[in-house]
Structure 1
């Protein structure tokens, strides 16, 4: 997949093979009994309708010449009952298959979403989110028609073809062979466009993905767009992407529309030939063909080419679906870099000792972010991590939570290697506040309770008061029941951070991780918050990343990180006495504030 680019087509890492259709069949398998019942129902309906042309033959050759009104009445009533049964069967089929098709779509989408929940941060770091979203929604939706109608129609129409051919051969072998002459021509057309058609739908899915990625990016960045007056430029980019999508779609459906007209042309030609030869044989002196047989046969011709046309449509849907299945299964097959080991055990209730032993890590092979990191945080201690931007501060805390696996070395909590325990049992004992204070659509109460669904309203309010969020929440129109938009657009950056802070604290963690927790909070609020933090940090092992060094002066140990290594360590007073890198950093902020 293209890396963080909306203008680059995705490249499939694996080519399509028949095993992907087998995987699709695995989703269909739970519904095979209901589908078999629908197929049998439709076959019974088709079998009965096969008799209608025979009724016409008997009426033309016998009932009308013999003026037999009873038989005409009988055939009319029988035809009406068959049509009624066929209509009821079709209604049952549509209703049943619509439910089955949507259930299968749900199952596929559910598997994709569940897998996305397990994929590591690195997967999302490297991909436009719009290109991920289009696979979960659009691509899966594109399978709906194939699953709801295509499969049952294909089985039914294949059986119908066999029934129809049996009746056609029984009526007249010569006319049947003339009708079948069109099939080799149709097969040649299919072979001719097959590869181009599949490739066209792959390109179309690429252009759709690019367009979706840019739309998602534009919506997320709309404030920046309007601030820098980029509306016209962005509209131009969108226009080009939309044109590319339209062009690719038109080319793809052009191949699809080739099938229908091809079937119509071949069927019209063979039907005309049958009429010409049929009339000649009727007018021949030995009259080798009757009018009733010709009328019945022409009725079967329509029934013969109708399923051929449906099968051609199924073939088109299948080739379209294949281009989407490739993307869907590629996502499901994306390896989960961070997952429970087969023999992983639940993490016992932790006391809080965190130890890094010769830990090295890099996001890309050969590019180390951390190199041979060693330190031990005792239970209840507060560790502050400082250093220049890009030094690896956030990487250290991400490794504690095992959002990434270390390249070498070991991280232990209470002497237990965190790679040997289940992720759920590890992370449920941590409270984490990231740099990105993400707010979900819903109430403020729900957002704070996100990490502890069993918390009472009183506990939520207590956490909010601890982080000094209670006052501004109560000033909103509905207090804690106030609805906030996705990403918290109604809230200021500082308010979003305070809510995220309360969310982390409510989890009542043994290990607390605060990544730039106070970066968007004003100085007055920071002073109030610091009082609550001092009480909260007691008895917890805490890791705090902060650029404002005034917030970490009371930390038990401060790690100065740069160039992948811990250059200095100690408490504030000790590091100030050394007059090293920490001292320079602190004094630069002090001078700036003066």
Structure 2
């Protein structure tokens, strides 16, 4: 898992900002070239200017050249790294959008089995990809040019010392490589335990009201602590690996410096080397070791990113709910036929719905009845395409539902449920959610048409009233009124009320039922309700029984 070939999967995102990508690389290569003469000039100052001649003018000239090189390198480095910051954000955001786009299209049979916090954590892993395009990482990758330029200069200064360095480099490389591999494994473990902890944290935040009501604090804290302890263990292991990694590098680096000092001292005493050349050589050697360390520990940076890419790709490559469903419903929906439909959420469960047959035609107003657990809401989820039948088929206008693009069907269905989800934004935004050809004037007209003005005027700022997360502060009845307007703002072929008036007061419920009875708001109306008062307009009833009763 986490092979380097996963990096190629980012190519389509890099293409969108390829000019900046290559411009940034060019800038960093220029920075490497500009650094090359710096150590040589420093050694030259010692050997040719300070020791033999003590020339102030020569010193000032070379210092001026060094300052100019450093300033130019600074300007180019800032420019190129700024470009890579843009590339970094561009790539990460494109991956995030792709991830969210895919997750929205994944089947509920998958999403329903995954904790929301876990999925949220997986989305957040997109941020890990950004490290590949950070100026620091790109500079590490391009340090190969520093290695080449430094090696050439070292050979020029002293081929004997260069041979010693070349002998040391493999030892240095494999020491760092071994340490970084161990660190990479502990990092992967910490990522996974972190994702699990995020899932648990999300569950606490999402269900905090129920936790308070049921006095479940101790139970939830115990579960949270168990997940936290797992992450702490993996975090401690990772921290220890980082400690060994750093100390191993430092030890080998120091021993190499002492060994080079030993041979350099011998060469200087034998007049085979000057202090200036030694000074320049050490500077170039530090570049060689820095590059060697960077490449040896490359896996420590890249491996976790490759793992993240692979985990993200799992989502992007999954079959979505519309895979191989290319048929589009353009005409109005005038009939729904359910033939031998059976459904269960898990293959090891018994069927919630078993061999159901039913047909609805244009003009039908259907009441779906049954005890709790008989599959009323589950049937609606099948009709909405959120879940697919385990057996049997649904036909829309005599076309197999299993072959139809679900988005084209949902565009023709309006739903009001018992638990309505409201999005952040104004009431108007929520009513118009998903509508591209409707405006505020259409909403105002609809409210007047339905005589629902007082319900909207009851909000502090009318339709412009801002809604907090999931409608906190708004009553269940008000929420269902908003959902009803949202479902009927556009002429839908099918309207579904899944306990859609259960939170309304008696007066409001009568108004809604009167609208459903007297107005032609859809081709097919489906109502799930335990309250049958005022539903004399119903012309068909579907009674569902528990499958073990059949």
TM over 0.5, shorter chain: yes
Which range moved further: 481-490 or 399-408? Answer: 399-408
The reply to whether residue 183 of structure 1 matches residue 165 of structure 2 is no
8 Å CA contact 1:263–1:308 kept in 2: the answer is no
The superposition leaves residues 317-369 of structure 1 with CA deviations (integer Å, 9 ceiling, x where unpaired) of 21332342333222223332x20536x23312215211122333332236433
Q: 1:466 to 1:186 in 2, by over 3 A?
A: farther
- TM-superposed deviation, 1:504: 0.9
Q: Look up the match of 2:352.
A: 369
CA offsets, 1:550-594, max 9 Å, x none? 354431110111235998xxxxxxxxxxxxxxxxxxxxxxxxxxx
Report the secondary structure of 1:450's partner residue.
coil
SS in 1 for 2:148: helix
Instruction: State the partner residue of 1:385.
Output: 368
Q: Rate the CA distance shift 1:327–1:520 in 2: closer, same or farther, 3 A.
A: same
How far apart are residue 525 of structure 1 and its match?
A: 2.4
1:381-428 CA-partner distances (Å, limit 9, x unpaired): 111111122212122222222222333433222223233333232211
Secondary structure, aligned partner of 2:533: helix
Contact 1:468 1:498 in 2 (8 A): no
Which residue matches 1:152?
138
Structure 1 CA distance for aligned equivalents of residues 546 and 520 of structure 2: 29
Question: How many pairs does the alignment contain?
Answer: 548
- The answer for the alignment partner of 1:442 in structure 2 is 425
Counterpart check, 1:24 vs 2:6: no
Q: 1:196 to 1:308 in 2, by over 3 A?
A: closer
Deviations 1:447-478 (A, max 9, x none): 11114243232432344467775423312211
Indicate conservation of the 8 Å contact 1:382/1:537, yes or no.
Answer: no
Trace 1:47-62 onto structure 2 (pairs within 5 A): 47-62=33-48
Q: Which residue of 2 aligns with 1:589?
A: none
Provide the rounded CA distance (Å) in 1 between the counterparts of 2:534 and 2:247: 74
Q: Which has the higher contact order (CA 8 A, sep 6+)?
A: 2
Give deviations 1:260-305, integer Å, cap 9, x for gaps. 3322221221111111221122112xx2222222121112122222
Determine if the alignment matches structure 1 residue 262 to structure 2 residue 248.
yes
Secondary structure at the aligned position of 1:405 is classed as coil
Residue 254 (structure 2) pairs with residue 275 (structure 1):
no
Q: Is the 8 A contact 1:467 1:498 kept in 2?
A: no
In structure 2, the residue matched to 1:574 is none
| Structural mapping, 1:123-272, within 5 Å | 123-137=110-124, 139-193=125-179, 196-231=182-217, 233-272=219-258
State the partner residue of 1:558.
Answer: 541
1:289 is aligned to 2:276: no
196 and 86 in structure 1: CA distance in 2 versus 1, 3 angstrom threshold? same
Classify the secondary structure of the residue corresponding to 1:477.
coil
Offset at residue 251 of structure 1 (A) = 1.9
Matched, 1:457 2:444: no
In structure 2, the residue matched to 1:11 is: none
Q: How far apart are residue 229 of structure 1 and its match?
A: 3.6
Partner of 1:431: 414
In the aligned structure 1, how far is the partner of 2:549 from the partner of 2:406?
Answer: 27
1:588 corresponding residue in structure 2: none
Q: Cα distance, 1:442 vs. partner?
A: 1.0
Residue 508 of structure 1: SS of its match in structure 2? coil
Which residue of structure 2 aligns with residue 401 of structure 1? 384
Displacement of 1:129: 0.4
Over the residues paired in the alignment, what is the CA RMSD in angstroms? 2.5
Q: 1:582 maps to what in 2?
A: none
Match of residue 101 from structure 2: 114
- Alpha-carbon distance in structure 1 between the residues aligned to 2:543 and 2:336: 18
* Structure 2 residue 545 is the aligned partner of structure 1 residue 545: no
2:498 corresponds to which of 508, 515, 521: 515
- Give the Cα separation in 2 of the matches to 1:347 and 1:190: 61
Whether the 8 Å CA contact 1:466–1:533 is kept in 2: the answer is: no
Tell me, what secondary structure is at the counterpart of 1:339? Answer: coil
- 2: distance between equivalents of 1:381 and 1:534? 11
**Distance (whole Å) between structure 1 residues aligned to residue 12 and residue 3 of structure 2:** 15
Q: Indicate how the Cα distance of structure 1 residues 556 and 566 shifts in structure 2: closer, same or farther if over 3 A, else same.
A: farther
SS in 2 for 1:406: coil
Question: 325, 337, 350: which one pairs with 1:355?
Answer: 337
Does the residue aligned with 2:527 lie in a helix, a strand or coil?
A: strand
Residue 554 to residue 134, structure 1, CA distance change in 2 (3 Å): same
Q: CA deviation at 1:219?
A: 1.7
Instruction: Evaluate the alpha carbon distance shift between residue 307 and residue 470 of structure 1 in structure 2; reply closer, same or farther with a 3 A threshold.
Output: farther
Question: Residue 376 of structure 1: SS of its match in structure 2?
Answer: strand
**What's the CA shift for 1:161?**
0.6
Deviates more, 1:16-25 or 1:122-131: 16-25
Q: 1:451 to 1:282 in 2, by over 3 A?
A: closer
Please point out which of 9, 12, 21 is paired with 1:35. Answer: 21
Which moved further from structure 2: 128-137 or 557-566? 557-566
Picking from 329, 340, 345, the partner of 2:313 is: 329
Give the Å deviation of 1:526: 1.8
Q: Secondary structure at the match of 1:549?
A: coil
**1:204-233 Cα shifts (integer Å, max 9, x gaps):** 122211221122222222222222344455
Q: Secondary structure at the match of 2:329?
A: coil
The counterpart of 1:307, out of the listed 288, 291, 306, is 291
SS of the aligned residue for 1:431 comes to strand
Offset at residue 239 of structure 1 (A):
4.3
SS at match of 1:410: strand
Task: Report what 1:530 is aligned to.
Answer: 513
- SS at 1:455 equivalent: coil
Question: Distance in 1 between the 2:45 and 2:230 partners?
Answer: 58
Contact 2:44/2:276, CA 8 A, preserved across alignment: yes
